[in-house]
Structure 1
Protein backbone atom coordinates (compact mmCIF):
# COMPACT_ATOMS: atom_id res chain seq x y z
CA UNK A 1 0.00 0.00 0.00
CA UNK A 2 3.07 2.18 -0.01
CA UNK A 3 2.95 2.61 -3.77
CA UNK A 4 -0.54 4.23 -3.68
CA UNK A 5 -0.44 8.04 -4.03
CA UNK A 6 -1.50 10.05 -0.98
CA UNK A 7 -4.41 11.84 -2.71
CA UNK A 8 -5.85 8.46 -3.79
CA UNK A 9 -5.56 7.18 -0.21
CA UNK A 10 -7.53 10.21 0.98
CA UNK A 11 -10.25 9.63 -1.62
CA UNK A 12 -10.50 5.97 -0.67
CA UNK A 13 -10.80 6.92 3.00
CA UNK A 14 -13.58 9.39 2.07
CA UNK A 15 -15.36 6.65 0.11
CA UNK A 16 -15.08 4.28 3.06
CA UNK A 17 -16.51 6.89 5.46
CA UNK A 18 -19.36 7.66 3.05
CA UNK A 19 -20.25 3.99 2.67
CA UNK A 20 -20.17 3.51 6.45
CA UNK A 21 -22.45 6.52 6.86
CA UNK A 22 -24.80 5.14 4.20
CA UNK A 23 -24.89 1.75 5.88
CA UNK A 24 -25.75 3.37 9.23
CA UNK A 25 -28.53 5.35 7.55
CA UNK A 26 -30.06 2.21 6.03
CA UNK A 27 -29.82 0.13 9.23
CA UNK A 28 -33.26 1.17 10.60
CA UNK A 29 -34.90 0.30 7.29
CA UNK A 30 -33.07 -3.00 6.97
CA UNK A 31 -34.07 -4.10 10.49
CA UNK A 32 -37.80 -4.10 9.55
CA UNK A 33 -39.64 -6.02 6.88
CA UNK A 34 -40.86 -4.16 3.82
CA UNK A 35 -44.50 -4.75 4.82
CA UNK A 36 -43.90 -3.11 8.22
CA UNK A 37 -42.22 -0.12 6.60
CA UNK A 38 -44.91 0.26 3.91
CA UNK A 39 -47.74 0.15 6.48
CA UNK A 40 -46.41 3.31 8.17
CA UNK A 41 -46.76 5.49 5.05
CA UNK A 42 -49.44 6.78 2.70
CA UNK A 43 -49.43 5.41 -0.87
CA UNK A 44 -47.67 8.53 -2.16
CA UNK A 45 -45.01 8.28 0.56
CA UNK A 46 -44.61 4.57 -0.23
CA UNK A 47 -43.97 5.39 -3.88
CA UNK A 48 -41.40 8.02 -2.92
CA UNK A 49 -39.69 5.59 -0.52
CA UNK A 50 -39.52 2.84 -3.15
CA UNK A 51 -38.15 5.23 -5.76
CA UNK A 52 -35.46 6.52 -3.42
CA UNK A 53 -34.46 2.96 -2.53
CA UNK A 54 -34.24 1.91 -6.20
CA UNK A 55 -32.30 5.05 -7.08
CA UNK A 56 -29.87 4.47 -4.20
CA UNK A 57 -29.29 0.84 -5.22
CA UNK A 58 -28.65 1.79 -8.83
CA UNK A 59 -26.31 4.60 -7.79
CA UNK A 60 -24.38 2.20 -5.56
CA UNK A 61 -24.15 -0.31 -8.42
CA UNK A 62 -22.87 2.52 -10.65
CA UNK A 63 -20.20 3.33 -8.05
CA UNK A 64 -19.34 -0.37 -7.69
CA UNK A 65 -18.83 -0.75 -11.44
CA UNK A 66 -16.63 2.35 -11.48
CA UNK A 67 -14.47 1.05 -8.62
CA UNK A 68 -14.07 -2.27 -10.47
CA UNK A 69 -12.84 -0.39 -13.51
CA UNK A 70 -15.88 -1.26 -15.65
CA UNK A 71 -17.86 1.18 -17.76
CA UNK A 72 -21.36 1.49 -16.18
CA UNK A 73 -22.92 2.97 -19.33
CA UNK A 74 -22.83 -0.37 -21.12
CA UNK A 75 -24.51 -2.21 -18.26
CA UNK A 76 -27.92 -0.49 -18.49
CA UNK A 77 -27.50 1.34 -15.19
CA UNK A 78 -27.84 4.74 -16.84
CA UNK A 79 -31.15 3.82 -18.49
CA UNK A 80 -32.44 2.48 -15.18
CA UNK A 81 -31.45 5.68 -13.38
CA UNK A 82 -33.20 7.73 -16.08
CA UNK A 83 -36.32 5.58 -15.74
CA UNK A 84 -36.37 6.08 -11.97
CA UNK A 85 -35.92 9.86 -12.44
CA UNK A 86 -38.92 9.85 -14.80
CA UNK A 87 -41.05 8.17 -12.15
CA UNK A 88 -39.77 10.61 -9.52
CA UNK A 89 -40.93 13.49 -11.72
CA UNK A 90 -44.35 11.84 -12.12
CA UNK A 91 -44.69 11.48 -8.35
CA UNK A 92 -43.70 15.13 -7.94
CA UNK A 93 -46.37 16.17 -10.47
CA UNK A 94 -48.99 14.16 -8.57
CA UNK A 95 -47.86 15.76 -5.33
CA UNK A 96 -48.02 19.26 -6.84
CA UNK A 97 -51.46 18.55 -8.29
CA UNK A 98 -52.70 17.51 -4.84
CA UNK A 99 -51.37 20.75 -3.32
CA UNK A 100 -52.83 22.97 -6.05
CA UNK A 101 -55.85 25.09 -5.06
CA UNK A 102 -59.17 23.74 -6.28
CA UNK A 103 -62.08 25.80 -7.55
CA UNK A 104 -65.31 25.11 -5.72
CA UNK A 105 -67.70 25.79 -8.57
CA UNK A 106 -70.83 25.58 -6.39
CA UNK A 107 -69.47 28.22 -4.00
CA UNK A 108 -68.46 30.44 -6.92
CA UNK A 109 -71.96 30.18 -8.42
CA UNK A 110 -73.55 31.11 -5.07
CA UNK A 111 -71.17 34.04 -4.68
CA UNK A 112 -72.00 35.44 -8.12
CA UNK A 113 -75.74 34.80 -7.71
CA UNK A 114 -75.82 36.58 -4.35
CA UNK A 115 -73.78 39.50 -5.64
CA UNK A 116 -76.13 39.93 -8.60
CA UNK A 117 -79.19 39.60 -6.36
CA UNK A 118 -77.91 42.30 -3.99
CA UNK A 119 -77.22 44.63 -6.90
CA UNK A 120 -80.71 44.07 -8.36
CA UNK A 121 -82.26 44.36 -4.89
CA UNK A 122 -80.65 47.76 -4.26
CA UNK A 123 -81.94 49.11 -7.59
CA UNK A 124 -85.49 47.92 -6.98
CA UNK A 125 -85.85 49.33 -3.46
CA UNK A 126 -87.48 52.76 -3.14
CA UNK A 127 -85.12 55.35 -1.77
CA UNK A 128 -82.09 53.65 -3.15
CA UNK A 129 -81.79 55.69 -6.30
CA UNK A 130 -78.88 58.04 -6.77
CA UNK A 131 -81.10 61.11 -6.91
CA UNK A 132 -82.73 60.30 -3.58
CA UNK A 133 -79.38 59.51 -2.02
CA UNK A 134 -78.04 62.86 -3.21
CA UNK A 135 -81.02 64.69 -1.65
CA UNK A 136 -80.13 63.38 1.81
CA UNK A 137 -76.58 64.64 1.56
CA UNK A 138 -75.87 68.31 2.39
CA UNK A 139 -74.86 70.52 -0.49
CA UNK A 140 -71.18 71.38 -0.59
CA UNK A 141 -69.69 74.51 -2.00
CA UNK A 142 -67.75 73.99 -5.23
CA UNK A 143 -63.97 74.15 -4.97
CA UNK A 144 -62.46 77.58 -5.70
CA UNK A 145 -61.27 78.19 -9.25
CA UNK A 146 -57.58 78.48 -9.87
CA UNK A 147 -56.40 81.81 -11.19
CA UNK A 148 -54.26 81.81 -14.26
CA UNK A 149 -51.22 83.98 -14.15
CA UNK A 150 -50.32 85.85 -17.27
CA UNK A 151 -46.65 86.09 -17.93
CA UNK A 152 -45.62 89.01 -20.03
CA UNK A 153 -42.51 88.61 -22.07
CA UNK A 154 -40.25 91.55 -22.53
CA UNK A 155 -40.20 92.63 -26.09
CA UNK A 156 -36.96 93.27 -27.89
CA UNK A 157 -36.67 96.52 -29.72
CA UNK A 158 -39.99 96.89 -31.35
CA UNK A 159 -40.81 93.21 -31.68
CA UNK A 160 -44.06 92.09 -30.23
CA UNK A 161 -44.42 88.90 -28.23
CA UNK A 162 -46.27 86.16 -29.98
Structure 2
Protein backbone atom coordinates (compact mmCIF):
# COMPACT_ATOMS: atom_id res chain seq x y z
CA UNK A 1 0.00 0.00 0.00
CA UNK A 2 1.73 3.12 -1.22
CA UNK A 3 0.95 6.47 0.36
CA UNK A 4 1.45 9.93 -0.99
CA UNK A 5 2.83 12.80 1.05
CA UNK A 6 -0.58 14.38 0.69
CA UNK A 7 -2.17 11.52 2.61
CA UNK A 8 -0.10 12.29 5.75
CA UNK A 9 -1.76 14.79 8.15
CA UNK A 10 0.00 18.15 8.53
CA UNK A 11 0.56 17.84 12.31
CA UNK A 12 2.26 14.47 11.79
CA UNK A 13 4.53 16.02 9.14
CA UNK A 14 5.51 18.75 11.62
CA UNK A 15 6.25 16.22 14.35
CA UNK A 16 8.36 14.12 11.97
CA UNK A 17 10.28 17.24 10.93
CA UNK A 18 10.87 18.07 14.63
CA UNK A 19 12.09 14.52 15.24
CA UNK A 20 14.47 14.76 12.28
CA UNK A 21 15.89 18.09 13.54
CA UNK A 22 16.31 16.69 17.06
CA UNK A 23 18.13 13.61 15.79
CA UNK A 24 20.40 15.79 13.64
CA UNK A 25 21.23 17.96 16.67
CA UNK A 26 21.88 14.86 18.75
CA UNK A 27 24.20 13.44 16.12
CA UNK A 28 26.13 16.73 15.97
CA UNK A 29 26.42 16.73 19.76
CA UNK A 30 27.84 13.21 19.84
CA UNK A 31 30.30 13.75 16.95
CA UNK A 32 33.15 15.03 19.20
CA UNK A 33 32.75 12.06 21.52
CA UNK A 34 32.57 9.53 18.70
CA UNK A 35 35.63 10.95 16.90
CA UNK A 36 37.98 10.10 19.81
CA UNK A 37 38.69 6.86 21.60
CA UNK A 38 37.23 6.35 25.05
CA UNK A 39 40.72 6.40 26.61
CA UNK A 40 41.47 9.80 25.06
CA UNK A 41 38.19 11.23 26.27
CA UNK A 42 38.52 9.90 29.81
CA UNK A 43 42.11 11.09 30.17
CA UNK A 44 40.84 14.68 29.91
CA UNK A 45 38.51 14.39 32.91
CA UNK A 46 38.64 13.77 36.65
CA UNK A 47 37.18 10.48 37.92
CA UNK A 48 33.96 12.21 38.97
CA UNK A 49 33.59 13.84 35.55
CA UNK A 50 34.32 10.47 33.91
CA UNK A 51 31.51 8.88 35.91
CA UNK A 52 29.12 11.66 34.92
CA UNK A 53 30.11 11.34 31.26
CA UNK A 54 29.62 7.57 31.27
CA UNK A 55 26.23 7.89 32.96
CA UNK A 56 25.04 10.51 30.48
CA UNK A 57 26.16 8.31 27.57
CA UNK A 58 24.37 5.24 28.97
CA UNK A 59 21.24 7.26 29.71
CA UNK A 60 21.25 8.74 26.19
CA UNK A 61 21.64 5.29 24.59
CA UNK A 62 18.80 3.86 26.66
CA UNK A 63 16.59 6.84 25.88
CA UNK A 64 17.30 6.46 22.17
CA UNK A 65 16.46 2.76 22.37
CA UNK A 66 13.22 3.68 24.16
CA UNK A 67 12.39 6.12 21.35
CA UNK A 68 13.30 3.52 18.72
CA UNK A 69 10.98 0.94 20.27
CA UNK A 70 8.17 3.51 20.40
CA UNK A 71 8.64 4.45 16.74
CA UNK A 72 8.53 0.75 15.80
CA UNK A 73 5.24 0.42 17.65
CA UNK A 74 6.66 -1.85 20.35
CA UNK A 75 6.05 -1.43 24.07
CA UNK A 76 9.39 -0.46 25.70
CA UNK A 77 8.22 -1.38 29.21
CA UNK A 78 8.37 -5.10 28.44
CA UNK A 79 11.92 -4.89 27.11
CA UNK A 80 13.61 -3.94 30.40
CA UNK A 81 14.50 -0.45 29.16
CA UNK A 82 12.61 1.25 31.99
CA UNK A 83 14.42 -0.75 34.67
CA UNK A 84 17.75 0.13 33.05
CA UNK A 85 16.83 3.83 32.95
CA UNK A 86 15.82 3.68 36.62
CA UNK A 87 19.13 2.01 37.49
CA UNK A 88 21.07 4.73 35.65
CA UNK A 89 19.04 7.44 37.45
CA UNK A 90 19.97 5.81 40.77
CA UNK A 91 23.66 6.05 39.89
CA UNK A 92 23.19 9.65 38.75
CA UNK A 93 21.71 10.47 42.17
CA UNK A 94 24.69 8.80 43.87
CA UNK A 95 27.12 10.89 41.80
CA UNK A 96 25.16 14.02 42.75
CA UNK A 97 25.43 13.09 46.45
CA UNK A 98 29.19 12.68 46.07
CA UNK A 99 29.38 16.10 44.40
CA UNK A 100 27.35 17.67 47.20
CA UNK A 101 29.62 16.13 49.84
CA UNK A 102 32.67 17.53 48.06
CA UNK A 103 31.12 21.01 48.06
CA UNK A 104 30.04 20.87 51.72
CA UNK A 105 32.00 23.01 54.20
CA UNK A 106 34.51 21.17 56.32
CA UNK A 107 35.92 21.83 59.76
CA UNK A 108 39.64 22.43 59.78
CA UNK A 109 40.37 20.70 63.08
CA UNK A 110 44.03 21.75 63.17
CA UNK A 111 43.10 25.42 62.85
CA UNK A 112 40.41 25.04 65.52
CA UNK A 113 42.93 23.44 67.91
CA UNK A 114 45.41 26.27 67.33
CA UNK A 115 42.69 28.85 67.90
CA UNK A 116 41.60 27.32 71.22
CA UNK A 117 45.18 26.69 72.37
CA UNK A 118 46.22 30.30 71.67
CA UNK A 119 43.12 31.70 73.35
CA UNK A 120 43.83 29.65 76.48
CA UNK A 121 47.51 30.60 76.42
CA UNK A 122 46.70 34.33 76.23
CA UNK A 123 44.37 34.07 79.19
CA UNK A 124 46.92 32.17 81.29
CA UNK A 125 49.71 34.51 80.17
CA UNK A 126 47.79 37.62 81.30
CA UNK A 127 47.10 36.10 84.72
CA UNK A 128 50.72 35.14 85.29
CA UNK A 129 52.25 38.52 84.44
CA UNK A 130 53.52 40.21 87.63
CA UNK A 131 52.52 43.74 86.60
CA UNK A 132 49.00 42.87 85.67
CA UNK A 133 46.26 43.78 88.07
CA UNK A 134 43.48 41.49 89.15
CA UNK A 135 41.06 43.57 87.09
CA UNK A 136 43.04 42.88 83.89
CA UNK A 137 43.18 39.16 84.65
CA UNK A 138 39.47 39.11 85.34
CA UNK A 139 38.75 40.73 81.97
CA UNK A 140 39.02 37.34 80.25
CA UNK A 141 36.66 35.69 82.70
CA UNK A 142 33.02 35.64 81.65
CA UNK A 143 30.80 38.13 83.39
CA UNK A 144 28.70 36.54 86.08
CA UNK A 145 25.24 37.66 86.96
CA UNK A 146 24.94 39.46 90.30
CA UNK A 147 23.46 37.43 93.15
CA UNK A 148 19.71 37.74 93.47
CA UNK A 149 18.48 40.42 95.85
CA UNK A 150 16.89 39.32 99.08
CA UNK A 151 13.26 40.13 99.38
CA UNK A 152 12.41 42.44 102.20
CA UNK A 153 9.35 41.74 104.18
CA UNK A 154 7.03 44.61 104.52
CA UNK A 155 6.22 45.18 108.12
CA UNK A 156 3.20 47.18 108.92
CA UNK A 157 3.56 49.22 111.99
CA UNK A 158 0.64 49.26 114.26
CA UNK A 159 -0.52 52.68 114.93
CA UNK A 160 -2.03 53.93 118.08
CA UNK A 161 -5.53 55.09 117.88
CA UNK A 162 -5.85 58.04 115.61
CA UNK A 163 -2.17 58.44 115.08
CA UNK A 164 -0.41 57.53 111.91
CA UNK A 165 3.14 56.32 111.82
CA UNK A 166 5.62 58.87 110.71
TM-score with structure 2 length normalisation?
0.75
Supply the distance in 2 between the matched residues of 1:95 and 1:53 (Cα, whole angstroms).
19
Selected match of 2:129 from 120, 125, 130 = 125
1:117–1:153 CA distance, 2 compared to 1 (3 A): closer
Question: How big is the alpha-carbon RMSD for the aligned residues of Structure 1 and Structure 2?
Answer: 7.2
Contact 2:126 2:137 in 1 (8 A): no
1:43–1:144 CA distance, 2 compared to 1 (3 A): closer
Q: How far does residue 125 in structure 1 lie from its aligned partner after superposition?
A: 2.4
Choose 73-82 or 126-135, whichever is displaced more.
Answer: 126-135
Count of residue pairs brought into register by the alignment: 162
> Unaligned 5+ residue runs, structure 2?
none
Once the two structures are superposed, residues 90-135 of structure 1 have per-residue CA deviations (whole angstroms, 9 ceiling, x without a partner) of: 1111122222222221221111011111122223324433647999
1:135 corresponds in structure 2 to 139
Give the 4+ runs in structure 1 shifted more than 6 A: 132-162
The alignment partner of 1:149 has SS state of coil
Q: RCO greater where, 1 or 2, for CA within 8 Å and sep 6 or more?
A: 1
